[in-house]
Structure 1
């Protein structure tokens, strides 16, 4: 993913938030037979405060990817959507696509069966927790033999990325009034491209930009302060 300093995400807390809120990821590996990609859910490693993730693949995807032997690219895709040039007002413009994405790359560590089982349990609990009657991995009619067979059909991994590229392209290069209009359009039900999650990401990014501008010294203030100190 080509980086642009205006759109770069570098805050570790924000990166963790995006990963946590978008756990369905794409795993990409370069193999002797060419590029391969798979799709799995991952979690942040709850014992770490960095960008380490844990997850699993079903056999034989571990062999297909050469898991643990070569670099793995994990693509985390956050909210994204189309932006019409009409939303910029009566000015020359072309369409664009707003998005949030995090790329994590590194050689994963394979998990021992016991740890893999705990990660599988965490995954189930994470997504079942939103249901009125959550059903855990060990809940009947699942029995221990069934769960153990499930674990043996998977290979768990932990990835501490050695390369991170993160980007949120959310109209940061547009004036505030135009941004507000785009957010209104994105959040409106009047368009097939409405997406409340994308609107929330845009608000988050632009609130931070506006707060930073408000906190920055005004042009010439440092010079005026030095002049005042000399009086």
Structure 2
């Protein structure tokens, strides 16, 4: 993931926390041909994560082209918002987009043990039903029906080799404009805008104290082709 220094994140705990909050990710692979699938992910271990687990539909051809040890990329987008230059009061600038995202580079491996796959499915249900006032449970299904449905999925894990966070939240702006952006997003009627404002609060975004690396004048040569 390309990120200017103001937005780059290297802390694994922060990145895994992002995945807990934004678990619907995209697994990308290039074994045979480029492929991507949108899936719900869990951390392999909630206390000391070293990777991810999820499951493919068995009919999805992407998993059939993957072998244990193949490199994959899992992308976890967070909330995003368009930022209009109209909000800036400290200095002029151009339109931009604020967002958060985490990329997990890792090694793919199948979960071949049926009890392991069934526990993955049970844990997935428990995790995403947790906030419900009346959580649905796998035990409510007929065991034969459940077994038949479980045969239609393929469980897998991804062992993390590199994890990169991108948290572009106006860190390259001056204090006054950071606060203008945050206030504007927080008062928006769009849920995603308010989520970006909350991310700015969570990440304790402060205005810059030096010239921004995002200004092309700081790295483009003064003469020569663009």
State the TM-score, normalizing by the size of structure 2: 0.83
Name the counterpart of 1:205.
203
Report 1:56-205 matches (<5 A).
Answer: 56-61=55-60, 63=62, 66-69=65-68, 70-89=70-89, 91-111=91-111, 112-139=113-140, 142-189=141-188, 195-205=193-203
Secondary structure, aligned partner of 2:160? coil
**Aligned with 1:26: secondary structure?**
strand
Q: Specify every segment of 5 or more residues in structure 1 that has no aligned partner in the other structure, as ranges.
A: 214-231
Cα deviation for residue 48 of structure 1 reads 5.5
* Structure whose residues are more often helix by fraction: 1
The DSSP-based 3-state class of the residue aligned with 1:39 is: strand
Task: Tell me, yes or no, if the aligned pair for 1:106 and 1:163 is still in contact at 8 Å.
Answer: yes
C-alpha separation between the residues in 1 aligned to 2:149 and 2:156?
16
Query: Which portions of structure 1, spanning 4 or more consecutive aligned residues, are displaced by more than 6 angstroms?
Result: none
Counterparts in 2 of 1:87 and 1:193: CA distance versus 1, 3 Å: farther
Question: 5+ residue gaps in structure 2?
Answer: 210-226
User: 1:99-132 deviations in whole A, cap 9, x for unaligned?
Assistant: 1111112221211221111111111111112212
Residue 10 to residue 65, structure 1, CA distance change in 2 (3 Å): farther
- How large is the RMSD of aligned CA atoms in angstroms? 2.2
Higher relative contact order (CA 8 A, sep 6+): 2
Provide the C-alpha distance between the structure 1 equivalents of 2:128 and 2:46, rounded to a whole number of angstroms: 19
* 1:49 to partner: Cα distance: 0.9
Query: Deviations for 1:34-71, whole angstroms, at most 9, x for unmatched residues?
Result: 32111110011236613411111101225456233432
Larger Rg over CA atoms: 1
